[in-house]
Amino acid sequence: METCIFCKIIREEIPCHKIYEDKDSLAFLDIKPHALGHTVVIPKNHVETVFELSEWEAQELMIDVITVMNRIKTVLAPDGFNVGWNHHPAGGQVVPHLHFHIFPRYEGDGGGSMHSIIKSPGEKSVTEIAALFQK
Ligand code: 5GP
Ligand code: ZN
């Protein structure tokens, strides 16, 4: 049995504020919210990253993320969203169970965009990087 904290939430061994559930996915409010209504959406199968999802599971999960965004839109009426996931510790992932973060955004909330996550483009030019993909 998985000992990960999100699997414990799925098994209801740890409580959460659930805002959506179907047979494959669960969405609940983040315990340390970075935005009003900060929500995480997780697959019920324990996988660490998107690379372990089947094509079908990936499609279903994306549909569930959009369903949850719609629910948040109805209840909290945000002005926008940031949606994404931290992939591996280098990308900021702490809980090793795949989860999408949904940050509802509000005019004047003081937050940034995806671009504020990192500004470290490295030494190679964009043209040099593009050439690597031609090999
Ligand atoms: P990560 O950095 O792995 O992408 O983010 C994990 C997120 O899970 C964090 O935002 C953290 O606040 C949230 N989290 C960790 N443990 C719990 C918990 O027990 N309950 C809830 N609701 N959120 C949690
Ligand atoms: Zn898990």
The CATH number assigned to the domain holding 40 equals 3.30.428.10
Closest listed residue to residue 82, CA positions, set 52, 47, 112: 112
| Domain range for 93 | 5-132
Q: Which structure tokens are listed for 107?
A: 């005019």
For residues 82 and 112, is the Cβ–Cβ distance under 8 A? no
Instruction: Indicate whether 2 pLDDT > 90.
Output: no
pTM: 0.97
Confidence of residue 4 (pLDDT cuts 50, 70, 90): very high
**30 neighbors 40 (Cβ within 8 angstroms):** yes
Per-residue pLDDT at 67 exceeds 90: yes
Q: How much distance in Å is there from the Cα of 133 to the middle of ligand 2?
A: 34
What's the rounded Cα separation, in Å, for the pair 50 and 31? 23
Per-residue pLDDT tens over the stretch 91-109: 999 999 999 999 999 999 9
Is pLDDT at 1 greater than 90 in this prediction? no
- Active-site position among 38, 46, 99, 115: 99
What's the pLDDT score for residue 135?
81
- Over residues 118-132, the pLDDT tens digits come to 999 999 999 999 999
Largest CA distance in the chain: 51
Mutate to test the pocket of ligand 1, among 18, 32, 47 (most ligand atoms within 8 A of CB): 32
Q: Report yes or no: 51 and 85 within 8 Å, Cβ to Cβ.
A: no
Atom of ligand 1 nearest to the CA of 38: 10
With a cut of 90, say whether residue 8 has pLDDT above it.
yes
Which residue's CA lies nearest to atom 18 of ligand 1? 31
Closest to 100 in 3D by CA, of 114, 81, 90, 85: 85
Environment of ion ligand 2 (residues, CB < 5 A): 2, 4, 6-7, 46, 97
Q: What is the pLDDT of residues 23-48, one digit of tens each?
A: 999 999 999 999 999 999 999 999 99
For the chain, the domain total comes to 1
